[in-house]
Amino acid sequence: MRPARHVVWLALTIFVLCVLAPWPSCAADLQLLSVGVRARVGEKRVLGEEQLESFREYDVVASIRLPWEGYSPSGWGVSTRLLAGAGVLEGADKTALVVSVIPVLAFGSQDGRFTVDLGAGLTLLSKHRYAQQDFGGPLQFALTFGVGVPLYQRVGVGYRFLHYSDAGAYGPDTIGADFHMVELVYRF
């Protein structure tokens, strides 16, 4: 492995271990925060090389509260969450199952109405070759950034950026994909 890959693997390992490690002094119960649907909008490339294919992604997502959070008396603060999603990825007349698990660090209101989050995790693709574009393999790294705002009572809308990449693990000739997505969520 090249030194840059070592750094990526090390950073991802440390992040995942920190998110999943039991810290009883800060622990709270795992709790389902919201469920929603999301769909890709736009075709613009943001990270990496230009995508050779045009993709569409539609999925359902659940946000689960992880044990670590800290909020001020005003109700604003930081928490950890796990975004678990499943859906379809369409491109080049192929349809694939997409399953993702992404721990995120969320900033916002304690009631979850206003949030900004970012995280890194893993995605599994049932198909990784599409006509001109090869993701390299079924397991991909996933980077995400999202913003959520209330729409009506427990219903909210959001924007999510997702980037899938193998980070060169399957070789130098692979290309990831960027997704600009709109979310509709229901908070519990």
Whichever domain contains 105, its CATH number is 2.40.160.20
Instruction: Provide the pLDDT for residue 33.
Output: 93
Instruction: Provide the pLDDT for residue 49.
Output: 62
Question: Beta strands 177-187 and 94-109: pairing type?
Answer: unpaired
Instruction: Provide the pLDDT for residue 34.
Output: 95
Distance CA 166, CA 48 (A): 11
Instruction: Provide the pLDDT for residue 118.
Output: 96
> pTM, whole model, 2 decimals?
0.81
How would DSSP label each residue in 53-122?
S--EEEEEEEEEEEEEEEE-TTSEEEEEEEEEEEEEEEETTEEEEEEEEEEEEEEEETTSSSEEEEEEEE
DSSP state of 92: T
Instruction: Provide the pLDDT for residue 25.
Output: 44
Instruction: Provide the pLDDT for residue 176.
Output: 82
Q: Is the separation of the CB atoms in 181 and 40 below 8 Å?
A: yes
Write out the residue range of the structural domain in which residue 141 sits. 3-187
Cβ neighbours, 10 Å, residue 10: 10
Residue whose C-alpha is closest to residue 86's, from 57, 65, 64, 43? 57
Domain count of the fold of the chain:
1
Instruction: Provide the pLDDT for residue 19.
Output: 59
Q: SS3 for 128?
A: coil
- The mean pLDDT values, 10 residues at a time, for the chain of 188 residues are 56 63 56 94 64 85 93 94 95 92 95 93 92 87 96 95 88 84 96
Residue with tokens 């997409």: 98
Distance CA 36, CA 151 (A): 13
DSSP state of 126: S
